[in-house]
Amino acid sequence: MSFSPPLARYVADAKAPHRELQRALTQLSAFLLKRLTGRTGGTIDYGPVEAARTALSECGRMLQHIGAPAGAAHHRRHLDIAHAALCRAVSIVLARRGFDEDAFFGALERAERDLKALWRIVPGFEPVDFSQACCAQHGLLVRPEAAASPA
């Protein structure tokens, strides 16, 4: 797949905020998972929420500086929707009026759908990095062009 220069620049720039969105989704999902599977009456660990909030803040800052050329408008829209959904999830956790689990999980599912859509639009936005997987340890034999040179 070949891109025009503006589109190629967009794809390169969008990877970092995409990574932050993935990280936020994982953290928020983990927060709920721990809450659901932890001991009743135990302390709630808000660490993942803090981590997600930091990732979303960083993502929002980066998105402000990324322009989307015409061919990337659809892709960018999914990024924005995922970002907004995850910000909504954080605000649900931090709301003073009790934790609305259904609304929280609904926001996560919305973000998940849009992040998956990104991958289907443009390669390189896979939701998972398998480069560290057991089966990937021979990846450089399969793809020698990917080998890094020593600095």
Contact footprint for another protein (CB under 8 A): 19, 22-23, 25-27, 29-30, 32-34, 36-38, 48, 51, 101, 105, 108-109, 112, 126-139, 141-143
User: Is residue 133 within 8 Å of 43, Cβ to Cβ?
Assistant: no
CB of 132: closest distance to another protein in angstroms?
5
Output the six-digit token pair for 67.
């322009």
12 versus 73: smaller Cβ distance to another protein: 12
What's the DSSP call for residue 84?
A: H
**Given the complex with another protein, which of 29 and 87 has the nearer CB atom?**
29
Closest distance of CB 12 from another protein, Å: 15
CB of 6 to another protein, least distance (A): 25
Closer by beta carbon to another protein, 70 or else 128: 128
Considering the complex, what minimum distance in angstroms separates the CB of residue 102 from another protein?
A: 9
Measured from the CB atom, the residue of 55 and 68 that comes closer to another protein is 55
